[in-house]
Structure 1
Amino acid sequence: MSDSGKRDSAEQAEFRSYCRDWLADHHPGEPTVRLPQSPLEIMTRDQLDYLQAWQKAAYDAGLVGCDYPVEVGGGGRKDCQRVANEEMQAARTPFFPNVIGLGMAAPTVLHHARDDVKRELLPRLFSGEDIWCQGFSEPGAGSDLASVQTFAEPKGDRWVINGHKVWTSLAHFAEWMIILLRTDKSHKYEGLSYFVVPIRAALGKGVSVRPLIKMTGETGFNEVIFDGLEVDDRYRLDELGKGWQVAMTTLLHERGAGELQAPRAGGLKSRESHSATARSLLELARKTPRGAGTAADDPVLRDRMMQQVIREEALKENQRRARVPALLDHPMRLPLQNKLLASELGQDTARVALEVAGAAATLYMADEHAPDRGQWPLAYMNSFGMTIAAGTSEVQRNILGERVLGLAKSK
């Protein structure tokens, strides 16, 4: 029995056995399409169709939304999403495409939306039939999120939205967006309200989505223009002017809180892809020629690679603290620690991989001689987005220092 299994309650042990059996019988096998490194980089309809079909199958089997109430489309279980996640990870299944929906929108909707809105939106979110995106960042409001200016003006029992959101992952496929809007220009924080808005149905009728092409050639990011989009007041989450507090729910989960809400299945990639882990790094070193042997024989590189292995294992062990109530003295401590450490670990692992590959690291995906088909330089370039998303590493350190450790605020 795994370490995870030893901690299971009777219900969790039974559910784990069910998940393991179901995955053995329904594992999708080798992907039929080339998958991106991350669900945030889904670019083609073929990729989306493949991944949506997998999420729908897992949801129908009860492996998604396990801990949410039955009346909103969940499984009605207790702390069983963790079990499903662990079994999907062990089985190396594909990731779910609706990562923003599962990890950020679902817990926010659950805690702040009207009951009829929960019943309307959550089942199709869990199944992956409706893809979600996040409308927070703007051209003039990134790390200073409270400075957003996209404005919602009241019109009877509806709101008219005008403004500009940017760096919006998955907007090119999304049906729904969670969005932070300004409803009062005279107050910075109290002037914010939080909505969920349909964007796919409104394309050309108040919403425009424009792709942002990165230096990698990928188009997972977008900018979204709102020009008179009208939405019902029922899609406002919580009270008017409480948008900042609702946004904190979203950000807490984006930074890693609540394993039960965000299935992190993954591991299976197409033959052309892989994940930037220490294990993949070691595999690269063992097959990269270096002198009379391989890069794995280089003592300097071995030391640097082992540092990555140690950091990765330490991060896994630190994440286990989230299951010990006595260690959860502050709600932001572990989520922010894990987000900060994981994003920087991924970047450093990719950087070491480029050193291991040597001159061949300059070869990109189109070159048949590129190590691991050019995925390492791709991972390195994409890693900078991860140290910015959900608040930069500098922001995370400031929050940990000031709000968690109680240090004096920086001037």
Structure 2
Amino acid sequence: MLILNSHPDHGAALDPRDTAMLDAAATAEVAAYLAHRPDHRPTPLHALPALATELGVAAIHIKDEGPRLGLGSFKALGGAYAVIRLVLAEAGRALGRPVDYAEMQSGAVRRIASGLTIACATDGNHGRSVAQGAELIGARCVIFMHERVSDARVAAIARFGAEIVRVPGTYDDSVTEAARVANERGWITVSDTSWPGYEHIPGLVMQGYTALVAETVKALPAPPTHVFVQAGVGGLAAAVAGHMALVLGDTRPTMIVVEPERAACLYESARAGRPVKIAHGEPTVMAMLECYDPSPLAWRVLSRAADAFMTVGEDDAVAAMNRLARPAGDDPAIVAGESGGAGLAGFIRIAGDTTRRAALGIGPDARILAINSEGATDPERYRALTGLDPAMPPG
């Protein structure tokens, strides 16, 4: 399914609050933080010329977030950054002076951090980032995970010393429970979704994601004409669409938001013209995108900066994983998790439909960008869906 953005705000300038959150100055703040992370390296940007020829476009590039900060996904940029920003702000209040990123592992900051508890809900990747940030700066961390999250993803978070709390139901249920408990106990909730009165922290999370957009824009030989970006609650999609609108202006690409058919809360929001919470259905293989309630903060950006919304099926997602793992010609092999290839899956689905290609203005000169938002964050699941070991090149 595909719909064009018909919201009255489509194409309008971002809300000033969102401009401050996503502009070049905000990205420079993220870069200052990353400069003090010795494990930080820009992630690869891969060209796929064989696939581009097959699908009838000039170029396809994939930004591969699998290697990001050792956590396997783009989420590594958001949660940890928000944790560090919040703890340093608290340290600044306690010490009565500004506290720089260079001090984030100092004894004074860690003593203050040790008295703080950071909490969040997660499907896996966001919680991994929050837990890593808390460990890095010395704060206690409690992560709420719903019953469908795999044991492998639970273990990947627990290794950072976080306490894990299992919650019956879905991701949205875990968000509600995390916020309730944190509010009762005076903990700091670092959520990647927003709700009324709670925007600053998810805004910091989204701000962290702009680092990958800035890296991509710098590395591309020419700006993309079309970006297919996957969405759960919408934070990544909003960061990509908003930052590109701000830094590229009139040359910004056409932005297409891609969701699972079984969890398409932004698609339904676009149809309704306002944020819409949808009913829970059958679980999707795209576990990191299984969200039923969009972030109002992300929607505020996407209602202006996204141009179309679409859905992909289960088979589409798995096929994209396998196509990236087993490329044609000289295209590089890319390890993409169940949700990682969803953006590319969206383009592949559109590429075979002449009517929808025309609706999006995708011709032979189009330059397509997609983001592999995660690597094999659940290796057993990856093996089951591709028949390959994610640690080994295909052979």
Fold in common (TM above 0.5) = no
Q: Give the TM-score, by structure 2 length.
A: 0.31
Q: Give the TM-score, by structure 1 length.
A: 0.30
